[in-house]
Chains A and B, each alone.
Chain A
């Protein structure tokens, strides 16, 4: 199906039937204020200049598009290109969005910054931009993630932010989001909430997508320069879906490029123990948006299972739900086991240790590359680097670091 209109969301924040603003009344005014501020600033020249200046000088953009020679040879059915978001300052794509949102916070005169984090990359990226502006910063993180991402917890503390360990529910990303929303309801007057993915109530999915779209915009130019065509496929991992949305969005109208999102298959989609709502979920409402959601037979949100903290989330950004239903993007899942194998393979083939999240995208190449011949150009969005995952992987491999 051809998707003609990429001017979504509509004025009420919907992508088709997905999205919206499902929040307690106390937050409605804050969301209106944010939307108003964003709409006023997004095309403002000074604002854009500042955003791109920070991305260039502080983050180190543009990130390279790198030809993965040995990996390409390994499959032998085309060229594999890596969009190197792992080379950004702080080590992942998450910084693109926080650079933009902290400018909004500053413009709105907010004194206090809060954020949720799963793998800790968004926590680090938020603590980083808050430190740069000298703003008080609080990061909510599931207790289980605090343990498995201890390196990032320490980084956040070094950057002067306070980490709040969240014990409620499943003690992962979803619960961190609950707690951040509760903080925001309580401190809404002076607090800016930097949501880290294309999730949450409108206007967040739009704002996060727009700031992170710099990735896809660069990729259009780099593809023309390096292989004189648009990619045949772009592969990106999907938890909440911000790295995928950032690289997919500028390509929505470029129909020859297949857009493939890879969810966390955990122990296997068929076991029910995974974090793959687009593969095995039904539409439902969580954290302010209607989207595909993992729920049980009583309408309760199910606990998720993934080796990757950043993908361990039962929901997904509403625009992905729309892209799935419209057929413009494909969504598949990869198990923990396959992701771990890819983690090792990519490290050894390319000298790049990918984040466990990113390893899911790499693992899907095993299936995808069989569909192409040698002239294909396939881009993997390397959403982040794997330093943070060393302890997790070593433990699984039975090695004490």
Chain B
């Protein structure tokens, strides 16, 4: 069982909600990314989602797009990201790591994923493939990496079933119609859809996209098995990209963690 499945199992047994934190690797530079990842863990983050920069991130809102652009300016590639994670693992061999990105980068560097030295990466989420499919369908095979599929408010019931069956890490429920960082959460719809997903899912269902305030986090964690925070963190990284004083992010995440516990 890999780190992600183990962690989610533990949390379930303790009746706790998972906190997943996202950043873009290489934003503003790889050393900062490494520091922030360790800080995530100290602040109570259960799973780290590492964004793989791409020139054309069509599911991202302006905040995360700019982070992708900054990382690309630094020429951050998936190769660099694997090296970063190997470094992270020297100090932390417990925290699950999910790579989140667009198919082209994963296909381009398929050998790195197949190799996955010391199993340092636990899971992959490809934003731009249909939920029923995963990287194995594109010829990228690694049994120790599990897959996370997205289900959105527009996913129809018959597909929810097949997607839920296909997801081996967790199910990522996209809480809104929109790009990352938007703000039009419809809690009633979210609650109903997550109930529907849970009928079929063998793995936990986490909610993400558009969760900003402590109140959002608290509210959504009562419906899902955990929450994913992305744009708010990336905005704080952007604001501190010159000063490199990222401590505020730790405080913010600690508060979120308390609110969902």
A residues contacting B by CB (< 8 A) are 21-30, 32, 168-169, 174-175, 178, 181-182, 185-189, 284-288, 293, 295, 298-301
Contacts and interface: CB of A to CB of B under 8 A. Distances in A.
Contacts of B182: 186
Nearest to B132: A28
Report, nearest first, the 4 A-B pairs whose CB atoms are least far apart. Answer: A299-B108, A298-B77, A25-B150, A26-B152
A89 B62 CA distance: 37
A19 to B, nearest CB: 13
A186 B177 contact: yes
Contact of A185 (B59, B103, B107, B131): B59
B179 interface: yes
Interface string B118-131: 00000000011111
Contact of A295 (B69, B108, B159): B108
B55 A29 contact: no
A24 B107 contact: no
A285 B154 contact: no
Contact of B56 (A21, A26, A287): A287
B78 interface: yes
Contacts of A186: 177-179, 182
Interface residues of B, number: 42
Nearest to A182: B179
A188 B154 contact: yes
Contacts of A301: 54-56, 104
A306 B53 CA distance: 26
Nearest to B151: A25
B155 A298 contact: no
Given A24-B58, A286-B104, A300 B177 contact: no
Given A23-B128, A286-B104, A188 B177 contact: yes
A191 B150 CA distance: 22
Given A25-B130, A28-B154, A300 B72 contact: yes
Nearest to A24: B59
A28 B131 contact: yes
A298 B154 contact: no
Nearest to A31: B130
Given A26-B152, A174-B56, A299-B77, 5 more contacts: A29-B155, A178-B58, A185-B59, A189-B154, A286-B104
B105 interface: yes
A28 B160 CA distance: 12
B44 interface: no
B152 to A, nearest CB: 4
10 contacts: A25-B174, A26-B59, A178-B57, A185-B178, A185-B179, A284-B107, A284-B108, A285-B128, A287-B56, A298-B78
A175 B69 CA distance: 13
Contacts of A189: 154, 177
A185 B181 CA distance: 13
Nearest to B101: A299
Nearest to B76: A298
B65 interface: yes
A30 B177 CA distance: 12
Given A181-B58, A284-B107, A299-B109, A22 B154 contact: no
Contacts of B107: 284-285, 299
B109 A22 contact: no
B150 A24 contact: yes
Nearest to A301: B55
- Counting chain A CB atoms within 10 Å of each CB, which of B58, B72, B156, B182 scores highest? B58
Interface in B36-81: 54-62, 65, 69, 72, 75, 77-79
B170 interface: no
Nearest to A282: B108
Contacts of B62: 168
B65 A168 contact: yes
A181 B60 CA distance: 10
Nearest to B179: A182
Contacts of A178: 56-58
A174 B155 CA distance: 27
B102 interface: yes
Contacts of B154: 25-30, 188-189
